Structure 1
Amino acid sequence: MDMLFSLVWNATVETLAMVFASTLFSLVLGLPLGILLCITGPEAQGGIIPKPVLNNVLGRIVNVLRSFPFIILMILLFPLSRIIVGTSIGTTATIVPLSIAAAPFVARIIETAVKEVDPGVIQAARAMGSTTMQIIKKVLIPEAMPSLVSGITLTIINLIGYSAMAGAIGGGGLGDLAIRYGYQRFRPDVMLVSVIVILVLVEVVQVVGNKISARMMAKR
């Protein structure tokens, strides 16, 4: 029993580390991309500085990256993981493909959330002489924050699922535990506990995300 607890605890910590780091890096990559997709879009859809060609190119890149199955993307990114962290397997190496896989998803979430901002608020900011950067920082992001929190919550949940899939090819965490100890060593108890922990993590993230988003909405 102690051994099972130790295995599950260590795997849970690995999963949380992967998800936290990849969420952070995917936001660093996806936030500016999502903002750029929004402000370069058609003016009727909230574009502050419409640039059809750039918007179309960025949109296609995001769509291509989003269409890749995560397992295939992770295998393709093995060389990049090896260059960045020195290895292509394990918890640390998995953060690289997780971040890249989530970044286009984050970008679309950011774009959608920002497009929901009332155009009248943007026009008022423009009328007061605000620059594009001021509109982004002081209008678009603050006004879209409840939707952004909901989107980030969904991203974290997806990353928990991705991290579990990564276990199939040596990614570490709960997915790796379920496959190596639960499936390959015929330990259904290990697999069951791993699945339960993943479900609990998803539920906790969803509940916390919903509460934060609802609180932000109430303060607007």
Structure 2
Amino acid sequence: MTQQPTSDERRPANEGRKAADRNRAALVTAAREVYAEYGLDAPLSAIARRAGVGQGVLYRHFPDRAAVATAILDENVGQIERAAAAQGADIAGILGVLTWHQTQSTAFIDILHADGAAGRSGIPAYASTLSGRVERALRAHLPDGHRLAAAEDDLMIAVAMVSGAVTGPTREQREHRALAAWRLLGVEVGPVRPFDR
């Protein structure tokens, strides 16, 4: 005969949607950290491990590598777009937000080099789309005669050049090098920080 559990022995309630939302948030956080450290080629198993979930949970939320990266990097690009849409936005301020993201994540740098992403499975389409969104946000605020507007490709070539300079073991070192690269290009950059409005 099976005994019914007493009220103190009852199983915890199934949290359903709450648990799924918590797992997704943990995966996004873990992916941001793993991609920041290792770039877009980091194994998905490392993301699941860091989030404290199994790979099956990861694949329930994100069917492939491109879906994980798109979710993370879309937030970065969205922040640049919001900075560009803010009242009183100027190119220096938007470049400050862009530079902050460049110093935070090697994965973000990878999307800014969308042409170089062609060899990775699943990466080119979303990388090209996200890179295009960054370019449009920046280009909308380039004043006539700005040095980054001299030729059609100058803006994203400069962004790629700065991205190439963003090296170093600490965020502070990467920021120092990024600002030095912008300075050498003769481009004014506003405060290097995330956009939080």
- Under a length normalisation based on structure 2, what TM-score does the superposition of the two structures give? 0.27
Of Structure 1 and Structure 2, the greater helix share is in 1
TM-score, length-scaled by structure 1: 0.25
Using CA pairs under 8 Å that are at least 6 residues apart, name the structure with larger relative contact order, 1 or 2. 1
